[in-house]
Amino acid sequence: MFNNQQIMDLPKHSDISFKPLANKALLHTQLSSLLFYIPLIGALIAVCYFNETFANNAQTYLLIGMPILVAVSMAYNMISVRLRGFAVRNHDIAFKKGVIWQQVTVLPLARVQHMEIHQGPIERKLSLASIKLFSAGGVSADLQISGLTHDDCKNMRQFVQNYRQDDATTQAALVDE
């Protein structure tokens, strides 16, 4: 049977102090969100302009509903960005996210197969970037952290690249001793 008595000094992921995302991460999320809503609102205005029957039936609901939807979405984004955080430890990277379903993912550096850094047009303007870390067997990236500064992303990539599992295990053995 499984015995866990010997492992008293197990590093706890629940004790990790997560670093918040970059200052401009919220602005990026809100702008990305608006980029979705503005064309949608534009399309609805066009439909109302050309289709009088639709306008008569839906105009009032849309005038009340759309601002509420946008406001709720923006409030959700604010909470979502605040709840996100990442931590780079000696041997792994941890990331927490989620408003309703809160997730904490720990990805050991020894299992990282490859990485990607992405910078969209808004991210470039705000000097932000996203990093994706892939391990084996996942459907998509195991960790996707957006809203980091481009420098943070590059440093993280460099750190993962420099990581040598052999060094790490030697260090771990020393700590255990």
- Kindly list the residues in this chain that would bind other proteins in the complex (CB under 8 A): 1-4, 7, 10-14, 91-92, 98, 100-108, 110-111, 134-140, 142-143, 166, 168-169, 172-173, 176
The least CB distance from residue 101 to other proteins, in Å, is: 6
50 or 101: CB nearest other proteins: 101
The least CB distance from residue 84 to other proteins, in Å, is: 15
Whole-angstrom distance, CA of residue 48 vs CA of residue 70? 19
The least CB distance from residue 8 to other proteins, in Å, is: 12
Check: CB of residue 122 under 8 Å from CB of residue 28.
Answer: yes
32 or 105: CB nearest other proteins: 105
The least CB distance from residue 97 to other proteins, in Å, is: 10
SS3 31: helix
57 or 113: CB nearest other proteins: 113
4 or 162: CB nearest other proteins: 4
Whole-angstrom distance, CA of residue 98 vs CA of residue 79? 9
Whole-angstrom distance, CA of residue 126 vs CA of residue 30? 13
Burial class (CB in 10 A: 0-12, 13-18, 19+), 93: buried
Check: CB of residue 86 under 8 Å from CB of residue 94.
Answer: yes
